Amino acid sequence: MKMITALKGTHDILPEEAYKWQYIEDKIKNTAERYRYGEIRIPAIEYTELFARGVGDTTDVVQKEMYTFLDKGGRSLTLRPEGTAGVVRSFLEHGMFSDALPKKLYYLITCYRNEKPQAGRYREFRQFGVEVFGAEAPSLDAEIISMAMSLLNELGLKNLVLNINSIGCPKCRKAYNDKLREYLRPHYEELCDTCKTRFEKNPLRILDCKSDICKNIGKDAPMLIDNICEECREHFEALKKELEILKIGYVINKSIVRGLDYYTKTVFEITSDSLGAQSTVCGGGRYDGLTEELGGNPVPGIGFAMGLERLIMCMEAEGVFMGAVSVPDIFVASLGENASRFVSGYVKELRDSGIGAERDHMARSLKAQMKYANKIGAKFSIVIGDDEITQGKASLKNMETGESEELSFDEIINKLKK
């Protein structure tokens, strides 16, 4: 019978690797706590309309990458391709706009996109994100950028570059879209089929196309930041001043438009060259019209997301510390049936005292038990037989130095607790 394997584009995180994820997730939670963000957990499955309206039906995500299907009731459902739309839906559905604002949320989720798998990019991937609602101030834009940079610095990444841009608001983007269409019109027949559908509805998306032909056509297009209104320009200038106050260096990258339709004004990416080329480890921006697009009253919002697979790749490439595999504090070997029963109770007592303890369940010989203790990296070991039970003590062996010390069972617990 053929063995069943994981789906292409998914991957298992084994115990030998899980410690890296746990280390990063702990850092994320600690950073979120310091910046006063509350955790939100959203469903992995939503109505397809949420993403069509929220992410944008002219984006690659909606047009090409979503996992969408009809359920038994004939409803169109989609596995979430990103986190923002679901968080906005929850924000509106649960009336969080009535809470003290700004409302600051973070999440650790899995997302799903039907993309071509490659290094650091999977069809099921893990993501850390933050979303903030209720404040238009550029100081908030700077704060979430500061939060992202702080986390990446604490994780030990070097050579990070903050790229910022402004893509304006619906008012100035309408005039820009007209200007962009005029530039693109002579090249219309050269565009890919997807970009031809974007030409009238959302030509800005053409500048984010992955096709080399469309990229080449768009490279000399007028830049959006050069065509934003006075309000958006003032917001961008204020953001730059806030970043300077926070002593965060930045590069103005006029080509950043981000891949989703909901962004307005500030957009940013943090890149690293640890993988040999500029690689985005964090991206985000402001989306002041998204709550209205999803049926709520206008509430300004801003957020960012980091893909954890890409983050781990960068950390591995730079040789950054990511914790270590957990090993037992002690291995308790047993000699004989009577000792095995005693060990069952004693190991539970060790564990109840907060000590990581392991024992044999394979009826191994004593020699094989000690080999196993070495293999799993136990820090200490003891051997319990009838004599040890009678005397109420055992020889505690340091597995690294080989030194032994005879202690009562209670003394062993007290020593290991320290």
Parallel/antiparallel/unpaired status of strands 279-286 and 264-272: antiparallel
Look at residue 259 in the predicted model and tell me its pLDDT. 60
Q: Compute the distance between CA of residue 33 and CA of residue 105 in angstroms, rounded to an integer.
A: 10
Domain 330-417: assigned CATH number: 3.40.50.800
Tell the burial category of 80 from Cβ atoms under 10 Å away from its Cβ (0-12, 13-18, 19+).
buried
Q: Would you state the torsion angle of the CA atoms of residues 363, 369, 371, 377, taken in this order, to the nearest 10 degrees?
A: 120
Q: Compute the distance between CA of residue 284 and CA of residue 268 in angstroms, rounded to an integer.
A: 6
Measure the CA angle with vertex 275, ends 147 and 206; round to 5°: 75
Look at residue 229 in the predicted model and tell me its pLDDT. 93
Look at residue 83 in the predicted model and tell me its pLDDT. 96
Domain with residues 15-169+228-317, CATH architecture: 2-Layer Sandwich (3.30)
Q: Compute the distance between CA of residue 63 and CA of residue 121 in angstroms, rounded to an integer.
A: 18
Count the helix, strand and coil residues of the chain and give each as a percent rounded to the nearest 5: 45, 20, 35
pLDDT tens, N- to C-terminus, the chain (418 residues): 999 999 999 999 999 999 999 999 999 999 999 999 999 999 999 999 999 998 887 777 888 899 999 999 999 999 999 999 999 999 999 999 999 999 999 999 999 999 888 777 899 999 999 999 999 999 999 999 999 999 999 999 998 999 999 999 988 888 888 888 998 898 888 889 888 888 888 888 788 787 888 888 888 888 889 999 999 999 999 999 999 999 999 999 988 876 666 789 999 999 999 887 768 999 999 999 899 999 999 999 999 999 999 999 999 999 999 999 999 999 999 999 999 999 999 999 999 999 999 999 999 999 999 999 999 999 999 999 999 999 999 999 999 999 999 999 999 999 999 8
Q: Compute the distance between CA of residue 413 and CA of residue 349 in angstroms, rounded to an integer.
A: 9
Q: Which residues pair with 271 in a beta bridge?
A: 161, 280
Strand, coil or helix: 308 = helix
Q: Is the peptide bond before 102 cis (omega within 30 degrees of 0)?
A: yes
Q: Compute the distance between CA of residue 281 and CA of residue 120 in angstroms, rounded to an integer.
A: 10
Strand, coil or helix: 49 = helix
Look at residue 206 in the predicted model and tell me its pLDDT. 85
Which residues lie below 8 Å from residue 175, measured CB to CB, with a gap of 6+? Answer: 227
Domain limits, the chain: 15-169+228-317, 330-417
Look at residue 63 in the predicted model and tell me its pLDDT. 84
Look at residue 260 in the predicted model and tell me its pLDDT. 64
Which residues lie below 8 Å from residue 166, measured CB to CB, with a gap of 6+? Answer: 224, 225, 228, 232, 233, 235, 236, 265, 266, 267
C-alpha dihedral sign at 172, 175, 179, 180: positive
Query: How many whole angstroms from its chain centre is CA 177?
Result: 33
Q: Compute the distance between CA of residue 325 and CA of residue 332 in angstroms, rounded to an integer.
A: 20
Q: Compute the distance between CA of residue 315 and CA of residue 311 in angstroms, rounded to an integer.
A: 6
Give the Å distances, CA to CA, from 293 to 52, 85, 263, 285, 343: 11, 10, 12, 17, 63
Look at residue 413 in the predicted model and tell me its pLDDT. 97
Look at residue 333 in the predicted model and tell me its pLDDT. 98
Q: Compute the distance between CA of residue 329 and CA of residue 357 in angstroms, rounded to an integer.
A: 6
Q: Would you state the torsion angle of the CA atoms of residues 366, 369, 374, 379, taken in this order, to the nearest 10 degrees?
A: -90
Q: Compute the distance between CA of residue 286 and CA of residue 262 in angstroms, rounded to an integer.
A: 8
